[in-house]
């Protein structure tokens, strides 16, 4: 590829020299002739594509139910079992509907899942699941949606009586971390693993008086502890996360600076003016974990 770049660059330089003339006369278009260059191999067309990490499934048309938040972060987790009807609960009968835990830390043993759950927080809006049927008595289908919401018309998984079938739907979660499944037409065992969850980003705009002006819903409270001191509480532990507090362009031009410190689920934000004295200003807080 570098040979092509050199050739093109040389031709451009030669053309410019011919137009400018004068002091650039020594570099002219005639100084670079295609006949003076060695034959170049054809540009390769069979190079393999660069490796691309699998994209997180989009919440929207591919989702089994409606997720109202338009911009969510996908957080992958190591595949983890939340339901196994062979271990607890027994087969789904035809027409049976069950509410099942996916988020939180309780209720999993009673449905054959991992003891304390799979690390899906209750603040999650949706989950990426792997649903597998087994020992089905006939053909049927599974409908999945957030517990407490309206049943959708879509199907999460269709299955046959022979062998096992697996589907990978994105299913919205209720505020209690539950989904609801409906089994249609036949009886079958179900094994459900979670591969990740969708959650609103941790971002909020805090007023100079400590009020929450806007938030993605992850901020629980703000304590304006004194001039230039704010303690912002989030809905999860933040150990290992990075926090950034950004003041307005006007305040920044005045020399206002910010400092942040992570303390459990709290972010300690301090604002100082150009004289290094505490000052109250609006700021936007962003957390990256």
Q: State how far the Cα of 41 lies from the Cα of 1, in Å rounded to an integer.
A: 10
Q: In what order do the strands lie in the sheet with 257-263?
A: 219-226, 229-234, 266-272, 257-263
Host H or E run for residue 251: helix 249-253
Average confidence score pLDDT of the chain: 82
Q: Which backbone phi and psi does 101 adopt, to 5 degrees?
A: -80, 135
Mean pLDDT (whole number) for 163-183: 96
Q: Report the C-alpha gap between 97 and 90 in whole angstroms.
A: 13
Please tell me the pTM assigned to this model.
0.67
Rounded to whole angstroms, the Cα distance separating 174 from 157 reads 20
The per-residue pLDDT for range 29-77, each reduced to its tens digit, is 333 343 443 443 333 333 233 332 334 454 433 455 555 445 789 999 9
> Rounded to an integer, what is the distance from CA 227 to the centroid of its chain?
35
Q: Which backbone phi and psi does 11 adopt, to 5 degrees?
A: -65, -40
Q: What is the pLDDT of residues 82-110, one digit of tens each?
A: 999 999 999 999 999 999 999 999 999 99
Three-state SS at 12: helix
Burial 187-205 (b: 16+ CB within 10 A, else e): bbbbbbbbbbbbbbebbbb
Q: CA-CA distance, 221 to 201, in Å (whole number)?
A: 16
pLDDT tens digits along 124-145 = 999 999 999 999 999 999 999 9
**Average pLDDT rounded to a whole number, residues 194-223:** 95
Give the tens place of pLDDT for each residue, 148-161: 999 999 999 999 99
């Amino acid at each position: 590829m570098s040979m092509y770049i050199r050739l093109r660059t040389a031709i451009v330089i030669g053309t410019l020299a011919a137009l400018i003339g004068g002091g650039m006369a020594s570099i002219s278009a005639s100084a670079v002739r295609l006949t003076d260059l060695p034959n170049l191999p054809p540009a390769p067309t069979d190079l393999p594509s660069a490796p691309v990490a699998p994209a997180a499934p989009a919440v929207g048309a591919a989702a089994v139910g409606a997720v109202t938040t338009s911009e969510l972060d996908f957080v992958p987790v190591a595949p983890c079992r939340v339901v196994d009807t062979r271990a607890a609960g027994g087969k789904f009968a035809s027409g049976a509907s069950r509410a099942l835990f996916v988020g939180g830390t309780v209720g999993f043993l009673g449905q054959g899942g991992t003891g304390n759950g799979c690390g899906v927080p209750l603040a999650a809006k949706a989950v990426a699941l792997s649903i597998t049927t087994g020992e089905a008595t006939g053909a049927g289908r599974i409908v999945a949606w957030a517990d407490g919401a309206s049943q959708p018309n879509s199907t999460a998984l269709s299955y046959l009586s022979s062998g096992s079938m697996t589907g990978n739907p994105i299913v919205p979660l209720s505020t209690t971390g539950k989904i609801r499944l409906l089994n249609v037409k036949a009886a079958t065992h179900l094994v459900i693993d979670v591969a990740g969850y969708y959650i609103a980003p941790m971002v909020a705009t805090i007023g100079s008086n400590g009020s929450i002006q806007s938030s993605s819903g992850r901020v629980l409270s703000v304590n304006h502890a004194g001039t230039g001191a704010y303690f912002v509480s989030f809905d999860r532990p933040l150990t290992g996360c990075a926090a950034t507090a950004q003041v307005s362009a006007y305040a920044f031009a005045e020399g206002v600076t910010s400092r942040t410190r992570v303390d459990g689920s709290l972010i300690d934000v301090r604002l100082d003016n150009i004289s290094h004295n505490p000052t109250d200003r609006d700021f936007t807080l962003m957390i990256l974990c």
